[in-house]
Structure 1
């Protein structure tokens, strides 16, 4: 190989065969997976349907066309608000081409739309819950097909009736679609599947949900088991025949539905969804891709000159460094999209020559590009980002930065495949098997998800008529067994689970009820873009030119039209921050080394200190604590104000003795297991927050259980 610091592969393109027929969309000749889901929904065949067609393969149209043509009201759940906005725009454009599209009402619901446009539409409503209730009542009274686009947080709030009033219209949807399901965490998957399964199993006179559609990557073994064994609805993969034993006439025939192709060899009745790609892989440590790129900036700039390019990194600070370097180079139209630069997204996408971004464009933002440069420090991100080269048959290029251990593992494979066009599925299996598994522990299911479900069932029992309560409890326990035990923890009984539930405090249960876990964020006014948002506090303290203010002083610095957004966001944040740009200073790190940004750490005080000092590791559990403090060097203007705000806030914490890297290695957390350094008078320590705290606790307890002789010892939650 010419470059000893890189390996190269020629990845074949992927083409999907089209199948002519009477499909309810003008100008579309469908793929097999689109016909299969259309067949099931038009035949009114209930079930759980998983569509794992590749990115760019038309998964949205696969459900949209039949639900509109059949008049099936649908709730579609997307992982990010950006994806909701993108899909709202795309679906709106498609409605005029779909049979029945003129009789469809499309609603995009996020906390932002509830606070803004729907607040104007329903001025009499005093809360988001009341606005949503009025919106759905109005939509269903119109006798049109209702399609609700929302995020999983709002869906869970709706189903669990956490809004201050019941919104019964959630039970009127006949189809539920969950997009990008493979990107959800273990806790998030468990929550969503349990609630959807419960809705599907409810008598149709009460809840109409009959069709569960998951748009996802190919399910791994555990998720496949959940679909097939835990869910009551029959499970079908729509890349096969769907619900039939033999193909529907529209998709019959001997010709394969997918093919791999090399440049210039795509048959006429196939469309390209992934192009042939020349892939070059180089090693880089996690969050070190920017350094590797800038150390070889001449090579990088030469690559960028060869075509329209998207660069996808992990840390916002990496984006800062690369974007700054490219702006100083002789390049045209360099753009960036990230958490602090979300304005003008569509214009940037349409006009960039080089786009620097992160997960903000990993899903949900459609763009066309000749090549991509990306970091892939876990398997999911690697293939999600590689798959953003799509819907083109032209030969394309990709430059990946992967963990050094993966790079070295792939070297002999690259030598053996040199000069060959490699099948995508073959390559994906090989790469996925080489990544270190840092997935969340299986014990999370019974330690926490089962407790979350048990609490949900008990609330259902309390709301049920007395004559129905026993049946509701029995059905709930059976569902908990199916989803979270399946014989794997034979020593755990309903009474064990009840005991765990009784010990879990109300604040912990409140954390479990929500879809996503909490983190330490602050409310930020970005002076550059004149926007208000919440953002990760550690990043701001390390890498940003910021100051903290009292609430009253903060409001004097922002435009009056943003004050309503402040009221909406401040319940989810700690402190009030003004952001002016990036901080480009350095600090003395370990052994006197100069590190980029400020030094930052949390400090163990109050309840957090007691949790660490008074509770041995073997019996310590995550707890909601107050008294969190921060230390930052050099200091930041107003940091004492921030400390006052943090001191009274509550957050779920789990501290451990030891250095961050030691804990990451001991419990196989990987570099994305977010734990933070913690100043502790008795020695080195670290802390995890929110759901990360729960995952870390599971790993610690799993280690203890390995040495335990009886299962009961582990139940002392």
Structure 2
């Protein structure tokens, strides 16, 4: 049975006359969406702008045009460190080309590790002082939405256990005063908890430091976010080039003012890929020489990427491809969550073949003409496929989509299938076909009402204490957030008090986190890549993935901390790790294991409540790991439905933290599922609506 193959047409974006008063570099022109975004951001009646231009059509330039043409101070948030690093280079390039005349724009990038290093080198007293220093001295600050959230959740204040100390506005008001535009890039990758937290921050800013604007860059804007904005009375504008007919897929001699943003692409769908990690891995192994290496030999000068869901698969493939490619003078590099920062920054530039995971599929612009990729859902497919064809000067552009066989059947074989083997399609038609034929992923729409309002209520409480500074802010914020999320602040107060009375403050803390806490994160010393600098070998990684995919040895905490200090590292981020391990290798076959608890799991599951549970162990691995796990109280939710059934029935995302659980150590078919941290709150929300019951004190 032969593989299916289609051709994607090139894409052309409409350019427009330069807006009056805007000075562009020589021989530059703006796409329609860039000029429309600039116009919207110049309109003081607009609070929020969404730019939905296609991948590769210059959304970043649209975002930074106000800074480059009018020196608008800008705070930008990027979901991955790799994307922030990529965008820092892009902004510096804009600055060099536009050369803003009013004053020299200072550009700075900030994440948790950079923040700690900055505190150490400048001898500042706290994270609060460091954040204020960077904000005051940076006209353009690139960070992540996590730091933005924690600033607006009052995390960096100096207070005692009774809550006395800094006023809530000491940090957020000073930082927000310094910026006029707030950018959220690739925000579609987030779910309802992050959307809720960002709505809270926007409303906090609106009622304390008014007049700011917010720009969301995403080819697939989130409907839930737009609903919240409308319900809260925030005015927004969507810049949509598709609806404007600002894209073409062919040009004739009379066509003018169109710029090519994507090259034509040959896309192949290999058949017989099973819906498991091993099947894609095996296809890559079997085709490493006959398909992948052959492409590079046939088309010298090619650059390629393989983007997979599993770090372990990437790690196992790296030495195999190095053995094939490096004798021919071709460099093979990796870029995953376990790759050191030095290697990450160099790999995108230096690799002939780059193997990576989600660290490179979110917005990073790298020059390739060959792509092999997996896709967990429709958005993930469009995101990863969008890495290809963005740069000209290659002879051919080739992609292989490693999709499960049931998706291939829906696309090419079933009744009313949207694609035909050998045909040519435009990007809009093709993207819609992908969206229609992929299974829907749960968007956890009920979460804001059930759990998201907890953070809203905490913000409201802080505003009540700031009436001297903002007399009407608490009332206005409360009114808006209740309309947006459809919550009652008073009921949320009761929910918080009930949790606290049952000793479940950890549950409240989890609901206030941005991406959830790192309850199962282990500190690791990576001994598998001897080419990494010593300082880059100290990392964190979650326990379930370690057990499933890696081999490791136990390390005592003092030994680990001492080695990290000797490597010149600050060790703050390792202090609360679950345990300390040395990574020694990768499993060829994924380990079959489950969580184990000797207590009455049936009773806990029937309670349908989020728990803070001790006494968990794992069914395999080092005993010391189970001992460390056993002693820690973990925010979790237990379902009496097995993991596979639960995932299928609820449409859970691929990386959702839900694992098999049993009360028997040697159980081959565990009947229960346990979810941790934010995933526990999300799962509880779904099951509560799935099996509605009388609300006993809400959730605790």
Short-chain TM bin:
0.7 to 0.9
Mapping for residues 314-353 of structure 1, pairs under 5 Å? 314-329=309-324, 332-342=330-340, 343-353=342-352
Q: By how many angstroms is 1:381 displaced?
A: 0.9
1:171 to 170, 176, 181: 176
Query: Deviation string for 1:198-244 (max 9, x for gaps)?
Result: 312x2xxx5144211001123254344334x13433111123699xx
Partner residue in 2 for 1:451: 454
1:275, 1:391 within 8 Å by CA — same for their partners in 2?
yes
1:524 is the counterpart of 2:524: yes
Q: By how many angstroms is 1:338 displaced?
A: 1.4
2: CA distance, partners of 1:475 / 1:176: 21
2: CA distance, partners of 1:421 / 1:598: 42
2: CA distance, partners of 1:555 / 1:645: 17
Instruction: Decide whether aligned partners of structure 1 residues 60 and 582 sit closer, same or farther in structure 2, where only a CA change above 3 A counts.
Output: same
1: CA distance, partners of 2:391 / 2:617: 51
Instruction: Decide whether aligned partners of structure 1 residues 509 and 581 sit closer, same or farther in structure 2, where only a CA change above 3 A counts.
Output: same
2:637 to 644, 654, 658: 654
Q: By how many angstroms is 1:475 displaced?
A: 2.4
2: CA distance, partners of 1:163 / 1:690: 22
Q: By how many angstroms is 1:559 displaced?
A: 6.1
Q: Does the residue aligned with 1:483 lie in a helix, a strand or coil?
A: helix
Partner residue in 2 for 1:260: 249
Partner residue in 2 for 1:434: 437
1:276 is the counterpart of 2:264: yes
Mapping for residues 22-421 of structure 1, pairs under 5 Å? 23-27=22-26, 28-100=28-100, 102-121=103-122, 123=123, 125-137=124-136, 139=137, 146-165=139-158, 166-167=170-171, 168-172=173-177, 173-200=179-206, 202=207, 206-227=208-229, 229-239=230-240, 256-261=245-250, 269-282=257-270, 283-287=273-277, 288-297=279-288, 299-301=290-292, 302-303=294-295, 305-306=297-298, 307-329=302-324, 332-342=330-340, 343-392=342-391, 395-412=396-413, 417-421=420-424
2:411, 2:419 within 8 Å by CA — same for their partners in 1?
no
Which deviates the most, 58-67 or 416-425?
416-425
Q: By how many angstroms is 1:312 displaced?
A: 0.5
Partner residue in 2 for 1:588: none
In the superposition, the TM-score normalised over structure 2's length comes to: 0.86
Q: By how many angstroms is 1:399 displaced?
A: 0.7
Which deviates the most, 160-169 or 669-678?
669-678
Q: Does the residue aligned with 1:655 lie in a helix, a strand or coil?
A: strand
1:575 is the counterpart of 2:618: no
1:10 is the counterpart of 2:46: no
Q: By how many angstroms is 1:653 displaced?
A: 0.8
Q: By how many angstroms is 1:568 displaced?
A: 2.9
2: CA distance, partners of 1:496 / 1:461: 17
Q: By how many angstroms is 1:419 displaced?
A: 4.9
Partner residue in 2 for 1:615: 604
Mapping for residues 595-674 of structure 1, pairs under 5 Å? 596-604=589-597, 609=599, 612-617=601-606, 619-632=607-620, 635-636=621-622, 639-640=623-624, 642-669=625-652, 671-674=654-657
Partner residue in 2 for 1:489: none
Provide structure 2 residue ranges, at least 5 long, that are not aligned to the other structure: 159-169
1: CA distance, partners of 2:434 / 2:699: 40
Partner residue in 1 for 2:553: 547
Instruction: Decide whether aligned partners of structure 1 residues 423 and 189 sit closer, same or farther in structure 2, where only a CA change above 3 A counts.
Output: same
2:675 to 688, 694, 698: 688
Query: Deviation string for 1:301-328 (max 9, x for gaps)?
Result: 4445444221111001221333333233
2:4, 2:421 within 8 Å by CA — same for their partners in 1?
no
1:454, 1:501 within 8 Å by CA — same for their partners in 2?
no
1: CA distance, partners of 2:418 / 2:201: 48
Q: By how many angstroms is 1:44 displaced?
A: 4.4
Provide structure 1 residue ranges, at least 5 long, that are not aligned to the other structure: 140-144, 243-254, 486-491, 585-595
Instruction: Decide whether aligned partners of structure 1 residues 714 and 646 sit closer, same or farther in structure 2, where only a CA change above 3 A counts.
Output: closer
In the superposition, the TM-score normalised over structure 1's length comes to: 0.84
2: CA distance, partners of 1:68 / 1:387: 26
2: CA distance, partners of 1:259 / 1:128: 49
Query: Deviation string for 1:628-668 (max 9, x for gaps)?
Result: 32332xx44xx41x344334434311122343213223433
Query: Deviation string for 1:562-592 (max 9, x for gaps)?
Result: 441x223333x211112233244xxxxxxxx
1:284, 1:292 within 8 Å by CA — same for their partners in 2?
no
Aligned length: 653
Which deviates the most, 449-458 or 312-321?
449-458
Q: By how many angstroms is 1:93 displaced?
A: 2.6
Q: By how many angstroms is 1:190 displaced?
A: 1.5
Q: Does the residue aligned with 1:329 lie in a helix, a strand or coil?
A: helix
2: CA distance, partners of 1:43 / 1:474: 27
Instruction: Decide whether aligned partners of structure 1 residues 44 and 452 sit closer, same or farther in structure 2, where only a CA change above 3 A counts.
Output: closer
Q: By how many angstroms is 1:546 displaced?
A: 1.8
1: CA distance, partners of 2:402 / 2:439: 16
1:286, 1:671 within 8 Å by CA — same for their partners in 2?
no
2: CA distance, partners of 1:234 / 1:69: 24
2:184, 2:216 within 8 Å by CA — same for their partners in 1?
yes
Q: By how many angstroms is 1:543 displaced?
A: 2.5
1:455, 1:501 within 8 Å by CA — same for their partners in 2?
no
1: CA distance, partners of 2:254 / 2:590: 50
Q: Does the residue aligned with 1:261 lie in a helix, a strand or coil?
A: coil
Instruction: Decide whether aligned partners of structure 1 residues 265 and 193 sit closer, same or farther in structure 2, where only a CA change above 3 A counts.
Output: farther
2:224, 2:445 within 8 Å by CA — same for their partners in 1?
no
Q: By how many angstroms is 1:467 displaced?
A: 9.8
Q: Does the residue aligned with 2:608 lie in a helix, a strand or coil?
A: coil
Query: Deviation string for 1:65-111 (max 9, x for gaps)?
Result: 21343232221111112222222222123212225264212221211
2: CA distance, partners of 1:408 / 1:234: 43
2: CA distance, partners of 1:493 / 1:155: 25
2: CA distance, partners of 1:98 / 1:197: 33
1:335, 1:355 within 8 Å by CA — same for their partners in 2?
yes
